[in-house]
Structure 1
Amino acid sequence: METSLFTTLMKAYWKTAVVIVLAAALAWWIEGLRWDADVSKRNEAHTTELKKQSDQAVIDLTNQKKRTEAAQTALAALDAKHTKELADEQAKNDRLRADVDAGTRRVRIAAANLATCELVGNSITGTGGVGDAAQIELSGAGGRAVLDLRASAIKDGEVIKYLQGYVAEAQKRFKIN
């Protein structure tokens, strides 16, 4: 009987059932179109955002490369400057050493009282200067030793100036605190 009731209902309402099935299929199809349109719109927005981020990354990378190249150029200039200064000082020291070796110059050291930080004069009281200080003349070997110490001190001073300049330039260019 149930089958006959179902069959009877289907015979009476088959047009309504077909319309309901067709309406459901149409609604399903329209919703699918909406879904596809929404997904497509979101994909497009996502692609646009990724492109924007990619373009900004290229710009940032290019700017960083320019800053790095500028810093390297500045550091190379700083290196060249200090290398030239060091070479000039070494050449000056070599000329002094050659003059001492040739006997055309002598190395003299002003005597100083290290306890009072005053130059030792030739027993004249009052304000002292280098001109009235007692002087010690060194032998050629002693003069060369003093000039070697001078060259070493100059080289160390130039290296320190170079490194300080390098650090200052690096801090300025790369914003290091």
Structure 2
Amino acid sequence: MPPLLRNWRTVLAFLLVVLLAGLLLAVGRYRDNAVHFRDQRDTQKAVADSLQVTINDMQRRQQSVAAIDARYTKDLADAQKTISDLRRDVDSGAKRLRVSAKCDRPVSGKSSTTRVDDDGSPRLTDAAQRDYFTLRERIETVTKQLTGLQDYVRQVCLTPALSKGK
């Protein structure tokens, strides 16, 4: 009998050791890959969570800005409607636009004739009246814009809960 077959137990033991070593190497390699992929997954999950927090914060800010914008846009529209109604009433004569003023020349009681410039109470010229309404409208616009911007800064920019994403 050949010597290799005579020591079949030794050969079998050697083959089992080689097979076992191969299996251990393969298992170790797959384990290392699994650990590596788990670490990549955890890193990507952390990035995704961070991005989701940022998205949620941006959505809250957008909703807050939209609410502020809607409120002050409505206030501005109401103010412009009030000014338009007042302008229409003054133009139609339903209301009068009065000016607190004094006449430069005292009117004496001796003269019974009325002059063209003795028109009664002082009033604005037509151009000054138009300018008054334009100025009033612009003041309302700037006031509402400034108030809305201040509200935006207080509610969106300075709010710690929104800026930290909580």
* Structure 1 and Structure 2 fold alike (TM over 0.5): yes
In the alignment, structure 2 segments of 5+ residues that lack a partner are 5-10, 103-120
Q: Does 1:150 align with 2:140?
A: no
**What do the CA deviations read for 1:55-113 (whole angstroms, capped 9, x no partner)?**
333333333322222221111111110000000110111112112212321132579xx
TM-score of the aligned structures, taking structure 1 as reference length: 0.59
Show the counterpart of 2:69.
Answer: 79
Cα distance in 1 for residues equivalent to 2:90 and 2:52:
57
Cα distance in 1 for residues equivalent to 2:49 and 2:72:
35
Q: Pick the structure with more strand per residue.
A: 1
TM-score of the aligned structures, taking structure 2 as reference length: 0.63
Larger radius of gyration: 1
Cα distance in 2 for residues equivalent to 1:28 and 1:79:
75
In the alignment, structure 1 segments of 5+ residues that lack a partner are 1-14, 16-21, 112-134
Q: Does 1:61 align with 2:55?
A: no
Higher relative contact order (CA closer than 8 Å, sequence separation 6+): 2
Cα distance in 2 for residues equivalent to 1:95 and 1:28:
99
Cα distance in 1 for residues equivalent to 2:149 and 2:14:
80
Cα distance in 2 for residues equivalent to 1:106 and 1:51:
73
Cα distance in 1 for residues equivalent to 2:14 and 2:28:
21
Q: Name the CA shift for 1:97/1:36 in 2 (closer, same or farther; >3 Å).
A: same
Cα distance in 2 for residues equivalent to 1:84 and 1:61:
34
Offset, 1:27 = 7.5
Offset, 1:26 = 8.3
Show the counterpart of 2:107.
Answer: none
The correspondence of residues 31-50 of structure 1 with structure 2, limited to 5 A, is 32-50=22-40
Q: Say how many residue pairs are matched.
A: 136
Show the counterpart of 2:148.
Answer: 162
**Which amino acid in structure 1 is aligned with residue 26 of structure 2?**
D
Show the counterpart of 1:51.
Answer: 41
Offset, 1:32 = 4.9
Offset, 1:25 = 9.0
Q: Name the CA shift for 1:44/1:60 in 2 (closer, same or farther; >3 Å).
A: same
2:85 to 95, 99, 105: 95
